[in-house]
Structure 1
Amino acid sequence: MKFLWTVTSCAWAVHAGALRACGTCCTRLQRELGSKVSSPGQPAYNATEDSYWSLQEAGLRPGCILRPSTAQDVARAVSIIGTVDGCNFAIKGQGHAPAAGFANIDGGVTIDMTGLNSTVLNADQSVVSVGAGASWLRVYQYLDPFNVSVAGGRNGLVGVGGLTVGGGISHFSPRVGWACDNVVNFERGAVFQAFTDIVSSPDFDIYTSLVAGFLYNSTSKTWLISNSAVYTRPVLDPPVFAELAAVPSISNSSQLTSLAALADEAATPPLNWLFATATFKPSVEFMQEIFDILNSTFYSFNPEGGVVWDIAFEPLPSVMLSYAAKTGGNILGVQPEDGNSYIMLLSALWPNSASNAAVEKVSRQALAAIEARAKAEGLLRGFQYLNYAAPYQTPLASYGAENLEFLREVRRKYDPLQVFQKRVPGGFKL
């Protein structure tokens, strides 16, 4: 029965290939998302079709319409659509784009975002979180009792998502710029929260290996989040990663595999690289501050040939530090009683060697701003992981005065002529 209505609903497709693709796509979407997917003649389908501003848009007939209620629904839908060749889709907010096909489609899938319309003001009334499918009128009506407003559409029936993606002219624009200039971030908080919950757990799962990565491309001015979540027991979906897995994503390559296969990564092409590092106490709010500092530092910097910034966050749990005592100790200077922390690796890769000095300067500015903010908030740890440290950093000194002096005693005993100190230019010196 599902197959029959799906094929019938795709009768508007222009050729047999599109018909089959649409049928497959709608069938899979309904299997995954149930009643959130509607077909022609159903009330939800008709409600979306009747809500368009222009007759050109309303005249198109999608094979099925998805009305997601969560960001996860959207992520699941896009993942499904992406696996079906020939399955095309449209995205509808409040439907104020007049041209046919901008927010609706013939024979494909229309994703009606209007169910994602939540509006929440933060505690100090400085930031409002708005669902992509909300109308600006809904936002203004919510904010009115607080005597605050936001740079949004002049016509309240226009949608938040569409206006913002296009730039967005507001009554406030002469004062604050385009609507898009006033966006703080596009839903990254969920990743920070999930990462922090894992890192700060007093019962850190010892089978957990996690790297939360954020990549920024200076040419396209886009961010990409990529998490490497590895569990060292043969469990496909361990509970420790449940919160992270619930964050909307465009792909998930979870599988049971061997370390030999997992570690067999493709070689990176020859490029210029730099590393720098710092260690912090867990804090969701501070991770957002790190992102804001990086975004504001990187946004206007685009050297010839471009640069990709790769920021990785890795847990440094106290349980990991406890093993040193069982094996006679080490000189790294981090102790279990310090509590759980996380290491940040700030790296950059770029093709043009003429940009070396400029990239290094920007990286130092970003790290200095982050460390200053962390220190002011009592979140900066002294430890600098030597394998991630920049040449200008002092990882050996970060081990503590006592451990540093011990290393110097070893140097004096085994290298009295300072051969390794003076005849080996590279690396960090005592």
Structure 2
Amino acid sequence: MANITNIGSASAFCCSILSLLLPDKITFPGNETYAASLTSYYSAQENSVSPACIASPQSAEDVSKIVHTLTTAVNTNASNSCPFAIRSGGHTSYAGSANVQDGVTIDMRGVDGVQLNSDKSVVSVGAGASWGSVYEYLDPYNLSVAGARDSTVGVGGLITGGGISYFGPRYGWACDKVLNYVVVLANGSIVNANKYENPGLLWALRGGSNNFGIVVRVDLQTFAQGEIWGGVVFYDFSTMDEQIEAIAAFSRNDTYDEFSSLVPSFGYFNGSSFIVNSLEYTKPVVNPPAFQKLMSIPSLGNTMRLTNISNLVGEAESLQMNGLRSASAAVTIDSSVEALRATVGAWNASVSSVKDITGIVWALAMDPLPPAMYSQHAATNALGLTSREGKSLIIVNLRVTWINADDDARVDGEMKQLIATMEREVGYIGSLDPFVYLNYAAPWQKPISSYGQTSMQRLTRIRQEYDPRRVFTNIVSGGFKIWN
């Protein structure tokens, strides 16, 4: 992450200029709008960060003015620069991910328009919109897009980190369905990035995070979508072995049903371990064959029903609690029974080390990653998922919430230890993949480096072309950076 120091006077100066240029869109500590912005972050760590001011643009032109001011008011190559952060949905957990202490936070949530084109083949979405609002707009048209599975996740953050959707096996990563990005560069200019204009920038923004500019709009390809059969199923932890067998069978490449989506979760809370599976079938088919092995495991209850995507992502949000201390980390494994046993076994063994932490939820969620999802657009995104020889993979996400700040260091240490244990044990059987999914990564992980040398070299060249002063590397708080 960027190391930003000596920022007080420069930020005060930048905030003063911005308040003259955009008087109704700059707020300071003590203002109700400022306070509401801070309390709306997903994690307590981000809630506790206090910027010198918050800029709330409502258009690409507003963002352009803000960026131009921040990059020209002071010397961005010097220690007296104006550090700034870019906030879309505010779902990333770690402090400084989309907020900056004593700097300028650009709250993009006012840039939230959603508009279909005339033939309804493309929807233009402001980067500050939530995915829930996008689905609510499209549902009446029986259309959808590849986007987040939680209603409050922001468009801009998910789409520049890859993006996993219910539709991945059919359409790839969410970023693969972006036809055009509208981007504000470090000099304040507004450009399009598509296959005709700035095609290198288009490629880089598909997974390259915030290293190149501020995305203010994405134009997404739509597709026909009616009702979905989906929900969550709750299980006793004693079914763990059956779950592992069923997850491995579900994930097999030769039998993978491209209309199915599964996120199994193994969790611990308040003295008990549990299993919760999120199942979605993107056709109106009740209990399809793809899920029969999972659904045959005795359960404690479920919410499975035919519904629309807006309802499903709203349910996902309702199962979470905002405002807690939160953290995430990721590894990628093969989808074999052996790799799953090693991973879940390491997590289960780690519970005894954390169960005395007040209010802790210690959970492991899994996203099957079949070749149909990661390989069909591998040449047109920056994620580097080539040369996998048709293997089905699984992204493993360690998700943790807790209550007390005094436990932060301990939780971080336990997370590092568990990730290292999983990497060692899965690596020992030859089932560890180097890919680290950016949207799940911990700040001490290096997801962009995990894309591989070829992708890194191209990203570095594109950054030099569009941000030669490295404003978005050195001055912007948050995001994962391209380090030489």
TM-score (norm 1): 0.54
Q: State whether structure 2 residue 321 is matched by structure 1 residue 268.
A: yes
Q: Which of 347, 368, 382 pairs up with 1:331?
A: 382
The match for 1:398 is 450
Once the 2 structures are TM-superposed, how far is the Cα of residue 411 of structure 1 from its aligned partner? Answer: 0.8
The match for 1:250 is 300
Amino acid corresponding to residue 329 of structure 2 in structure 1: A
Amino acid corresponding to residue 341 of structure 2 in structure 1: Q
Amino acid corresponding to residue 279 of structure 2 in structure 1: A
The CA RMSD measured in Å over matched residues stands at 1.6
The match for 1:235 is 285
Q: Which of 354, 364, 370 pairs up with 1:317?
A: 370
Distance 1:337 1:303, change over 3 A: same
Once the 2 structures are TM-superposed, how far is the Cα of residue 268 of structure 1 from its aligned partner? Answer: 2.0
Task: Provide the C-alpha distance between the structure 2 equivalents of 1:338 and 1:407, rounded to a whole number of angstroms.
Answer: 25
The match for 2:427 is 375
Once the 2 structures are TM-superposed, how far is the Cα of residue 426 of structure 1 from its aligned partner? Answer: 1.5
Q: Report if aligned partners of 1:200, 1:341 keep a CA contact under 8 Å in 2.
A: no
Distance 1:409 1:199, change over 3 A: same
Name the SS of the counterpart of 1:390 in structure 2.
coil
The match for 2:340 is 287
Q: Report if aligned partners of 2:253, 2:371 keep a CA contact under 8 Å in 1.
A: no
Once the 2 structures are TM-superposed, how far is the Cα of residue 321 of structure 1 from its aligned partner? Answer: 2.1
Amino acid corresponding to residue 300 of structure 2 in structure 1: I
Task: Provide the C-alpha distance between the structure 2 equivalents of 1:376 and 1:187, rounded to a whole number of angstroms.
Answer: 26
**Residues 37-56 of structure 1: matches in 2 within 5 Å?**
none
Name the SS of the counterpart of 1:421 in structure 2.
helix
Task: Provide the C-alpha distance between the structure 1 equivalents of 2:345 and 2:332, rounded to a whole number of angstroms.
Answer: 18
In structure 1, runs of 5+ residues without a counterpart are: 1-184
Once the 2 structures are TM-superposed, how far is the Cα of residue 311 of structure 1 from its aligned partner? Answer: 0.7
The match for 1:422 is 474
Which 4+ runs in 1 deviate beyond 4 A? none
Q: Report if aligned partners of 1:277, 1:343 keep a CA contact under 8 Å in 2.
A: yes
Task: Provide the C-alpha distance between the structure 2 equivalents of 1:281 and 1:300, rounded to a whole number of angstroms.
Answer: 26
Name the SS of the counterpart of 2:347 in structure 1.
helix
The match for 1:363 is 415
Q: Which of 387, 408, 412 pairs up with 2:464?
A: 412
- Residue by residue, what CA displacement relative to the aligned partner does 1:301-360 show, whole Å, maximum 9, x if unpaired? 2344231112101110001123316xx611111136342111100010001111011011
Name the SS of the counterpart of 1:236 in structure 2.
coil
Task: Provide the C-alpha distance between the structure 2 equivalents of 1:287 and 1:321, rounded to a whole number of angstroms.
Answer: 20
Q: Report if aligned partners of 2:324, 2:401 keep a CA contact under 8 Å in 1.
A: yes
Name the SS of the counterpart of 2:247 in structure 1.
helix
Of Structure 1 and Structure 2, the greater strand share is in 2
Task: Provide the C-alpha distance between the structure 2 equivalents of 1:305 and 1:343, rounded to a whole number of angstroms.
Answer: 28
Once the 2 structures are TM-superposed, how far is the Cα of residue 201 of structure 1 from its aligned partner? Answer: 3.4
Q: Report if aligned partners of 1:279, 1:342 keep a CA contact under 8 Å in 2.
A: yes
- Residue by residue, what CA displacement relative to the aligned partner does 1:369-427 show, whole Å, maximum 9, x if unpaired? 00011111100001111000010111001111010010000111111111111111222
- Residue by residue, what CA displacement relative to the aligned partner does 1:15-69 show, whole Å, maximum 9, x if unpaired? xxxxxxxxxxxxxxxxxxxxxxxxxxxxxxxxxxxxxxxxxxxxxxxxxxxxxxx
Amino acid corresponding to residue 399 of structure 2 in structure 1: S
Task: Provide the C-alpha distance between the structure 2 equivalents of 1:206 and 1:187, rounded to a whole number of angstroms.
Answer: 26
Higher Cα Rg, which structure: 1
Name the SS of the counterpart of 2:238 in structure 1.
coil
Task: Provide the C-alpha distance between the structure 2 equivalents of 1:277 and 1:227, rounded to a whole number of angstroms.
Answer: 18
The match for 1:90 is none
Task: Provide the C-alpha distance between the structure 1 equivalents of 2:448 and 2:456, rounded to a whole number of angstroms.
Answer: 6
Q: State whether structure 2 residue 392 is matched by structure 1 residue 340.
A: yes
TM-score (norm 2): 0.48
Name the SS of the counterpart of 1:323 in structure 2.
coil
Once the 2 structures are TM-superposed, how far is the Cα of residue 260 of structure 1 from its aligned partner? Answer: 1.1
Name the SS of the counterpart of 1:274 in structure 2.
strand
Name the SS of the counterpart of 2:477 in structure 1.
coil
Amino acid corresponding to residue 298 of structure 1 in structure 2: V
Name the SS of the counterpart of 1:349 in structure 2.
strand
The match for 1:210 is 262
Distance 1:299 1:329, change over 3 A: same
Q: Which of 253, 278, 281 pairs up with 1:201?
A: 253
Task: Provide the C-alpha distance between the structure 2 equivalents of 1:324 and 1:304, rounded to a whole number of angstroms.
Answer: 43
Task: Provide the C-alpha distance between the structure 1 equivalents of 2:322 and 2:276, rounded to a whole number of angstroms.
Answer: 20
Q: Which of 275, 287, 294 pairs up with 1:225?
A: 275
Percent identity between the two aligned chains: 34
Greater relative contact order, per chain length (Cα 8 Å cut-off, separation 6+)? 2
Q: Report if aligned partners of 1:205, 1:240 keep a CA contact under 8 Å in 2.
A: yes
Name the SS of the counterpart of 1:337 in structure 2.
coil
Q: Which of 326, 348, 351 pairs up with 2:403?
A: 351
Q: Report if aligned partners of 1:303, 1:355 keep a CA contact under 8 Å in 2.
A: no
Amino acid corresponding to residue 430 of structure 2 in structure 1: G
Amino acid corresponding to residue 283 of structure 2 in structure 1: R
Task: Provide the C-alpha distance between the structure 1 equivalents of 2:332 and 2:407, rounded to a whole number of angstroms.
Answer: 27
- Residue by residue, what CA displacement relative to the aligned partner does 1:214-271 show, whole Å, maximum 9, x if unpaired? 1112x41x21100001000000110000000011101022110000111113262310
Amino acid corresponding to residue 297 of structure 1 in structure 2: S
Name the SS of the counterpart of 2:339 in structure 1.
helix
Q: Report if aligned partners of 2:267, 2:362 keep a CA contact under 8 Å in 1.
A: yes
The match for 1:161 is none
Task: Provide the C-alpha distance between the structure 1 equivalents of 2:293 and 2:331, rounded to a whole number of angstroms.
Answer: 25
Q: Which of 306, 309, 324 pairs up with 1:259?
A: 309
**Residues 72-83 of structure 1: matches in 2 within 5 Å?**
none
Name the SS of the counterpart of 2:446 in structure 1.
coil
Amino acid corresponding to residue 250 of structure 2 in structure 1: I
Distance 1:291 1:321, change over 3 A: closer
